[in-house]
Structure 1
């Protein structure tokens, strides 16, 4: 389990890497469109409580890098 003070940083790093790797294998627009609802649900989960804007930015950055 990730400590709560490092949860956002870990999530951003994971989203960037996963989206970069996935975008290198499949087209980045369908992948990004598919991942937006997933990240929104993740940000709305009370157990996780992560803000959505940094996750969306990480998704966009990773998709562009991939």
Structure 2
């Protein structure tokens, strides 16, 4: 929500809003995946790598 507020305040363009929407979908996907119980340890490493890509998407936007 803070990223969206910042985008409104400094009048960011369409690329930012598209990247924010993609990142939000990624975060929702991750939160749904974390709701499962008894996740194996490699899953946490995969989610960390996904967060690196989400950060890159936000940076590109």
TM band (smaller chain): 0.3 to 0.5
TM-score, normalised to structure 2's length? 0.42
TM-score, normalised to structure 1's length? 0.41
Give the structure with higher Rg (CA). Answer: 2
